[in-house]
Amino acid sequence: MARKTLPTLMTETAVAAPQVVAHRLMRMALAGFTPSARDQKEFYRMGAEKVQAFQESWMAMGMQVMQANQQLMLSMLFPFAGSRRYAGKKGAERLATDVMTSGMKPVHKRAVANARRLGHTRLK
């Protein structure tokens, strides 16, 4: 599968997230004060996956910055051997884009998967 760009990840997330929110809010409204076991499972999953996606996003962004620092250091120590992706005028821009892309991937993965899964799930 081709690597998705930041605009693609953001667009797909922006389309999927409102679908998931609408489904879950409707489910909460229909459940009322006595949610079923199925509803309780979905409501728990809703919170747990947000925490997990947040942690994965921060970890991925931190790793991306660490890799960029290593590549930049190697390109200074060995100018003809290392990657020069983050060197030069566009280096900071590439780094910011790569960091944001790696941070969006866990959120995108969950939002799109939930939109697909909940799209096939009955509310009641």
What's the confidence (pLDDT) of residue 80?
A: 81
In a domain? residue 53: yes
In a domain? residue 2: no
Residue type (1 letter), 28: M
In a domain? residue 24: no
Give the count of domains, the chain: 1
Torsion angle (degrees, nearest 10) of CA 71, 72, 73, 74? 50
Residue 101 belongs to what domain range? 46-124
Q: Does pLDDT of 84 surpass 90?
A: no
pTM reported for the whole predicted model = 0.84
In a domain? residue 58: yes
In a domain? residue 23: no
* Mean of all residue pLDDT scores within the chain: 91
Backbone angles phi, psi at 84, to 5 degrees: -110, 25
Arithmetic mean of pLDDT, 76-94:
83
